[in-house]
């Protein structure tokens, strides 16, 4: 497997911190005058907007929806069973996703320090962390804080959908709107990114 050379894309300062050579650019979707070829390459090229990660995110979301999301009738009233199911599903996705990245980048150190902004590895033991180790603290706060907040927002949203307080868009009834919304997602994401880097 070929590895990218970080020196072609950035440099390390005297403290060992890596900085890219170029500033973050706006997606071709948001530049004027329009550049249709660049837009198509950005959307469908590899690596690009769709491939590989956004396609992977979509497949995980579709699998989670069809395999591990309760029925609309079940979600119409709050219940411990279906809420626990959503919580466990989210925990499995979270642990699998970040666990794979952690094992690849920090346990196996497969990328070594290439493209790491801080070239040093986290200390094995440190009094700065609640449980003596950064990984333990990260796992604890992710599972004790991030996961329940994420699940609570999702549960409330699903309950609102199931009770008709938010429109429920079904593929069979509205295939055109599904496609339109999928095409608009890059626009929404790019607009949000523009505000964060502007």
Residue 1 confidence (pLDDT): 46
Number of other CB atoms surrounding residue 5 within 10 Å: 8
| Domain housing 78 | 74-166
Number of compact structural domains in the chain: 1
Residue 138 belongs to a domain: yes
Residue 150 belongs to a domain: yes
Closest CA to 143 of 102, 88, 75: 88
Residue 104 belongs to a domain: yes
The predicted-structure confidence for 121-154, as pLDDT tens digits, reads as follows: 887 888 888 888 888 888 999 999 999 999 999 9
Lowest mean pLDDT among 78-87, 91-100, 165-174, 187-196: 187-196
The predicted-structure confidence for 36-92, as pLDDT tens digits, reads as follows: 999 899 888 998 888 888 888 889 988 999 999 999 999 999 999 999 999 999 999
Residue 197 belongs to a domain: no
Residue 25 belongs to a domain: no
Residue 22 belongs to a domain: no
Residue 108 belongs to a domain: yes
Most confident of 3-12, 64-73, 185-194: 64-73
**Cβ neighbours of residue 114 under 8 Å, at least 6 residues apart?**
3, 4, 6
Residue 37 belongs to a domain: no
């Amino acid at each position: 497997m070929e590895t990218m050379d970080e020196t072609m894309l950035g440099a390390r300062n005297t403290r060992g911190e890596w900085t890219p050579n170029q500033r973050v650019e706006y997606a071709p979707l948001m530049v004027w005058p329009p550049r249709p070829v660049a837009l198509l390459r950005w959307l469908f090229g590899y690596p690009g907007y769709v491939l590989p990660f956004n396609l992977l995110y979509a497949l995980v979301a579709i699998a989670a929806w069809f395999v591990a999301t309760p029925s609309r009738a079940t979600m119409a009233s709050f219940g411990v069973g279906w809420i626990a199911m959503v919580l466990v599903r989210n925990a499995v996705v979270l642990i699998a996703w970040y666990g794979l990245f952690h094992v690849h980048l920090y346990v196996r150190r497969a990328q070594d320090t290439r493209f790491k902004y801080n070239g040093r590895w986290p200390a094995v033991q440190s009094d700065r962390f609640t449980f003596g180790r950064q990984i333990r603290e990260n796992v604890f706060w992710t599972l004790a804080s991030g996961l329940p907040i994420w699940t609570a927002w999702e549960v409330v949203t699903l309950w609102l959908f199931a009770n008709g307080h938010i429109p429920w868009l079904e593929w069979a009834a509205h295939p055109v709107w599904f496609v339109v919304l999928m095409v608009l997602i890059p626009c929404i994401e790019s607009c949000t990114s523009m505000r964060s880097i502007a």
